[in-house]
Amino acid sequence: MAETGKDIIRAKSLLEAGKLVGIPTETVYGLAGNALNPDAVASIFETKKRPSFDPLIIHSDSMEKIKRWVLEIPEKLKILADEFWPGPLTLLLPREAIVPDLVTSGLDRVAVRIPSHPLTLELLKSLEFPLAAPSANPFGYISPTRPEHVQKQLGDQIPYILDGGACKVGLESTIVGIEDEQIFIYRLGGLDVREIEALVGPVQIKTHSSSNPAAPGLLESHYAPTKPFILGDLDQLIQDHQNKKVRMGILSLQRTFSNLPIESQMILSEKGDLKEAAQNLFAAMRALDEQDLDLILAERMPDHGLGKAINDRLNRAAAK
C-alpha cells in the first residue's frame, strides 16, 4: 500500500530521490517522476507497463521554467498558454537537448503543461525539475480520477500518493501543436476545441494513431475496462442481450431502464450536462468494471463541447 496524504515536503523529497509519486491534477491523477532523471523516467514506464514508444508529458508551474526545456514557443501556442495555463492544455514544443530521449520517445517535440491543482502547483513550485507524469493507471486501462483509483492499481509499486480529492475535469488534457502555421489537436480532452478556435482560428483534428506518427500513444484501443464494452443505442443493445441471461451494466448520460437492476446502471449527469458527465466518466466505468457483470453497454454523448472528447474515450474503450 502507498501512503496517502497531503504532505508536499514528503512528495518533494521522494521525487528528488528519483522515486515516483501519485499526483492530483484537474484532469486525471498522474504517476510522477523527475523528467530529467532517466532512471526515474524508466521506472514510470516499468510501473505502468507502458511501451517505450509512447512519450510522456512534462509538468511545471511556470513559463520561466518551461523555457529551460524548450527551444521556443511559437506565437499562436503562446497565446493559448497565456489564456489556458494552468489548465487542461498540453502543448507540443521543440525540445532542448536536456530533456531525455526516453521522455519524448526520441521525437523532436516535448509535450508540456501547467496543471491546475493547488497541491500539485505548490509541489511543482518547490522543484527545480519538471515532472514527467502519464495518467496513473496500468497501460491501456481507465484513467484514475480519485486517489483510491491510484491506490488500487499502483499502490503496491509506489511509496506515496498526494491526495487532492476527485479530479474536477475528469478527462485528460487536450494536446495541441503547430505544423507549418496550422494548429493541430492531437488528442481531444478537457479543454473544449471551440475555446481554442475562438483564440487562434480553425484547427485541424489529427487524433488517429495509425496514420499519425507524431502521437504514437494515441492507440485505437485505450481506456478499456476488462469486461466487454459495447457502444451503441441502449434500447437496441439491451433488447439484443436481454434473453441471453447475461448480466448487463449500463453507462448512460441521463436515462435509467426500469427493467434492469438499478445498481448496475451508471448515469453520468442527470441534467445532461457534459462537463459533469466528463467528471464522472472514468469513475463510472471503473465502478461497472468492478461489479459482477458479463458486459457493459454504453451510449455515445451528444457530439458537441466535451461530448466529443467523451466520445473519443468511449470509442477507444470499445475498440478491440
Residues in contact with ligand TXA by CB under 6 A are: 25, 27-28, 30, 54-57, 90, 92, 104, 107, 109-111, 115, 133-135, 172-173, 175, 186, 214-218
- Residue 77 CB, nearest distance to Mg ion (Å)? 22
**Residue 109: which of 93, 126, 97, 124 has the closest Cα?**
93
Contact 133, 31 (CB under 8 A): yes
The answer to whether 173 and 89 have CB atoms below 8 angstroms apart is yes
Q: Which does 80 bind (CB under 5 to 8 A by kind): Mg ion, ligand TXA, none?
A: none
Q: Which residue do the cell numbers 530521490 mark?
A: 17
The residue (of 31 and 250) whose beta carbon lies closer to ligand TXA is: 31
CB nearer to ligand TXA: give 91 or 234: 91
Mapping DSSP onto H, E and C, the string for 250-301 reads EEECCCCCCCCCHHHEEECCCCCCHHHHHHHHHHHHHHHHHCCCCEEEECCC
The distance of closest approach from Cβ of residue 130 to ligand TXA in the complex, given in angstroms and rounded to an integer, is 12
Q: Which is nearer to Mg ion, 57 or 248 (CB)?
A: 57
Compute the least distance from the CB of residue 137 to Mg ion, in Å: 7
Please, which residue, 130 or 217, has the CB nearer to Mg ion?
A: 217
Three cell numbers, residue 73: 514557443
The smaller minimum CB distance to ligand TXA, of residues 152 and 241, is found at 152
Q: Give me the amino acid identity at 78.
A: K
H helix runs in 155-241, sequence order? 193-200, 234-241
Interaction of residue 120 with Mg ion, rule CB under 5 A:
no
38 binds, among ligand TXA, Mg ion, none (CB under 5 to 8 A by kind): none
Shortest CB 301 distance to ligand TXA, Å:
19
Which residues ranging from 128 to 147 are in contact with Mg ion (CB under 5 A)?
135
Residue 173 interacting with Mg ion (CB under 5 A): no
Residue indicated by cell numbers 476488462: 226
Which entry of Mg ion, ligand TXA, none binds 175, CB below 5 to 8 A by partner kind? ligand TXA
Least CB distance from residue 297 to ligand TXA, whole Å? Answer: 26
Closer to ligand TXA by CB, 175 or 266: give it: 175
Q: How far apart are CA 115 and CA 122, in angstroms?
A: 11
In the complex, the smallest distance separating the C-beta of residue 247 from ligand TXA, rounded to whole angstroms, is 31
Binding site partner of 14, from ligand TXA, Mg ion, none, Cβ cut-off 5-8 A by kind: none
Residue at grid coordinates 466487454: 228
**Is residue 90 near Mg ion by the rule CB under 5 A?**
no
Neighbours of 135 (CB within 10 A): 26
218 binds, among Mg ion, ligand TXA, none (CB under 5 to 8 A by kind): ligand TXA
Read out DSSP for 9-63? HHHHHHHHTT--EEE--SSS-EEEEETT-HHHHHHHHHHHT--TTS--EEE-S-H
Cell representation of residue 233: 443505442
* 115 interacts with, out of ligand TXA, Mg ion, none, CB within 5 to 8 A per kind: ligand TXA
Q: Judged by CB, which is closer to Mg ion: 27, or 135?
A: 135
- CA distances, 250 to each of 212, 234, 270 (Å): 33, 8, 14
**154 Cβ contact partners less than 8 Å away, ≥ 6 residues apart:** 2, 22, 31, 47, 48, 136, 137, 138
Of 47 and 135, CB closest to Mg ion: 135
Tell me which residue has its CB nearest to Mg ion: 135
Size of the site for Mg ion (CB under 5 A): 1
Interface with Mg ion (CB under 5 A): 135
